[in-house]
């Protein structure tokens, strides 16, 4: 997980080289598409349940007395923190183009992670002060389930960008030589490929949080 600069990319293990540098760089992208697909099908039933239960409204239990969408300001804060964190990290990705600028991403990445974790903290506070529980009708069950799952996914996204920031900081100070073409040493996954994978999943999560915010607060 180091820089893609040919002069400073090293290996992770010894033995016959099983993959070319280009193949190694593509592996995280394949995994990310699988991750996005899994997350999509994991969250899709929640949106389906929202509209189905809202339409059927059995025994008037969609939003019984005392159950209503929470404070929209808190929803704006959560979405805003996640969006700013994602955009901040995306803007710092240009620093992965060169070994000499890797360290520049460190503070940006860590700040992005802090913003995402702050969004999760606001989400948890909201769920604990909304005035009703997960069993208080159909809307409440879908609302709690949606934002609990999103909190887990946003936390994972924040830890991901934090790991990229820490790796960039380390590699800027400890460059590892690139093994020769005939070396048996395996080529490491370039940090640019890992960053691109993160960027793909971050954009997916940004859209997902936006949809969840619109659906659960306004529809």
Confidence at residue 154, expressed as pLDDT on a 0 to 100 scale = 95
pTM, 2 dp = 0.82
Q: List strand residue ranges (DSSP E) for the chain, in order.
A: none
> Does residue 125 have a pLDDT over 90?
yes
Question: Which one is the CATH code of 21-56+70-218: 1.20.120.80, 2.70.98.90, 3.20.20.140, 1.10.540.10?
Answer: 1.20.120.80
112 touches 89 (CB < 8 A): yes
Confidence at residue 65, expressed as pLDDT on a 0 to 100 scale = 87
Measured in residues, the chain has a length of: 219
Run of H or E including 163: helix 138-173
Mean pLDDT (the chain, rounded): 83
Neighbours of 37 (CB within 10 A): 11
Residue 7 binned pLDDT confidence (cut-offs 50, 70, 90): very low
Distance of CA 34 to the CA centre of its chain: 14
The pair phi, psi for residue 141, each rounded to 5°, is -65, -45
1 touches 194 (CB < 8 A): yes
Confidence at residue 100, expressed as pLDDT on a 0 to 100 scale = 66
Share of the chain above pLDDT 90, in %: 47
CA distance 158 to 111: 10
> Does residue 76 have a pLDDT over 70?
yes
Tokens 């934090």, residue?
Answer: 162
Confidence at residue 203, expressed as pLDDT on a 0 to 100 scale = 93
Average pLDDT over residues 157-175: 86
The residues spanned by each domain of the chain are 21-56+70-218
């Amino acid at each position: 997980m180091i820089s893609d600069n040919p002069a400073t990319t090293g290996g992770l293990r010894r033995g016959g080289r099983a993959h070319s540098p280009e193949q190694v760089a593509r592996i995280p992208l394949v995994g990310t598409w699988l991750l996005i697909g899994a997350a999509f099908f994991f969250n899709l039933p929640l949106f389906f349940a929202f509209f189905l239960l809202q339409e059927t409204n059995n025994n008037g239990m969609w939003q019984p007395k005392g159950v209503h969408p929470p404070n929209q300001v808190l929803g704006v804060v959560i979405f805003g923190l996640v969006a700013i964190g994602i955009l901040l990290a995306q803007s710092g990705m240009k620093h992965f183009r060169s070994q000499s600028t890797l360290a520049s991403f460190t503070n940006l990445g860590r700040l992005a992670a802090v913003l995402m974790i702050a969004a999760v903290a606001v989400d948890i506070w909201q769920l604990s002060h909304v005035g009703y529980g997960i069993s208080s009708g159909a809307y409440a069950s879908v609302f709690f389930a949606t934002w609990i799952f999103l909190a887990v996914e946003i936390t994972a996204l924040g830890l991901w960008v934090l790991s990229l920031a820490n790796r960039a900081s380390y590699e800027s100070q400890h460059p590892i030589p690139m093994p020769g073409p005939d070396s048996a040493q395996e080529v490491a996954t370039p940090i640019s490929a890992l960053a691109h994978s993160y960027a793909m999943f971050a954009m997916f999560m940004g859209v997902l949080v936006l949809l969840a915010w619109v659906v659960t607060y306004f529809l």
